[in-house]
Structure 1
Amino acid sequence: MLEHPDFDKYDTSSVTVVGGGGATYSPELLRLMAKKLPQARLGVGYGMSETLGSGSRLGGIAMDSWPSSVGTVEAMCELEIRDENDNVVEDGEVGEICIRGAVVFLGYWDNPEASAKALDERRWYRTGDYGRIADGVLYLESRMRDMIIRGGENIYPIEIEHRLEEHPEVAEVAVVGVPHHQLGQEVAAVVVLKPGSALDADGVKTWVSEELARYKVPTHVIFRDALPYNATGKVLKHELEAEISAELS
């Protein structure tokens, strides 16, 4: 909406609050909102259906201090970051986000196996998301299933996506992992360009390499007219993974 060619023709001064959830705001989106909706207060949160949408919240002047985060834990929740052995990690280390509190669901209807996998004996809910807590602030890294493991290196797609979203010729991007017979996986970037763009695959790789480590630079760059979304506006990465893997095989 912010990038619609007719956006500036309309009076948007009545928009005073903009909220988001499920992911952090990219640096490019924050800059765009500051330009297009300077009067609006921004907020973002982290949660899911299993926690009634509760988890963490960020808004007001705190957005200026931790713009790449999803804020601090809400009063009705407890939040921990755990490793693969279910141990709580040190401050600043990445692990699985776990939530406990009155807002956490009792279990999945008629599915005790899924419930037992999601909830431990102390009713901590394993979210399936990677994140870290630094000085009491939660930062999202990736969905566990979205993480790319290339030659033993963990790669979080959101970091590459945010870098590419800063490119002036990129409209949308999704980063996924595709199989590789030696490395396990490689990085693939699916890019939607803005009208009139002449950006090519080499340009995409160069842009990423200027800020990120070499192993995070996409091996494959695929240009599309649009990305697939579900009804809630989330990119269907599993569809992209399947399509691209088939194309490259």
Structure 2
Amino acid sequence: MNKKSLIIFGSIFAVLIIALAVALGMSSSNNKQDTAAENEATNEIEPLDTTPIEGQQIVYLGEEDAANEIFLAFDYSCPYCKQWMDEVLPQLEKGYIDEGIAKFRMQPMVFLNDTSQRLANFDQNLVHYNKDNYFKIARRIMEEAEHQEEATGDWGTDQYVNNIIADYGLDQEKMLQEPERDSINVTRKYTRALGVETVPSVFVNGKKVENPFDVNEITALLDQ
């Protein structure tokens, strides 16, 4: 083989090697992209810790050792939170909480007004000193809430809180004292830890529910 033939043969061989390398590189890249897409599709969202405040006292509706947790971030002054308590919670109680499949807890936020803070403070003292009556009283407050712009009456006022204290024979001094933690700071910590921007916000086993009023979405997470 003469020198010219060797040069031509070598050039063709080099082109073939380069083409093969490019093809292998593209295949590897495509495989990596496919694998990344598969991982993204199969990886579950990491559940969040719904108790971001160390040492915070909490109270559950249902069995405390239930395998599932339903968590509600709410504001006592929020009409949609009242609606959630009236419409959604009873459905979850019947099928899951009463059956010991899930436990439920709620955390008041201070988002809307002074009444939000007053009742969040009262809520915190209820958890500390009257756990047995917590849900009975909290649900009564939500059921009696007035949200019309022209609403009259004393709902959410100091007098209203005093009436609740009297009705249930609670210790007035303990119920009206400054709570262990500032309720606004508590709200900030939950907002940062859980990304709570609106109420009601619902989490099932630390995973945020896209539509808190969609019972099917909530129960689907509970059934996983």
Shorter-normalised TM-score: what interval?
A: under 0.3
TM-score by length of 2: 0.26
Task: State the TM-score, normalizing by the size of structure 1.
Answer: 0.24
Q: Which is richer in helix?
A: 2
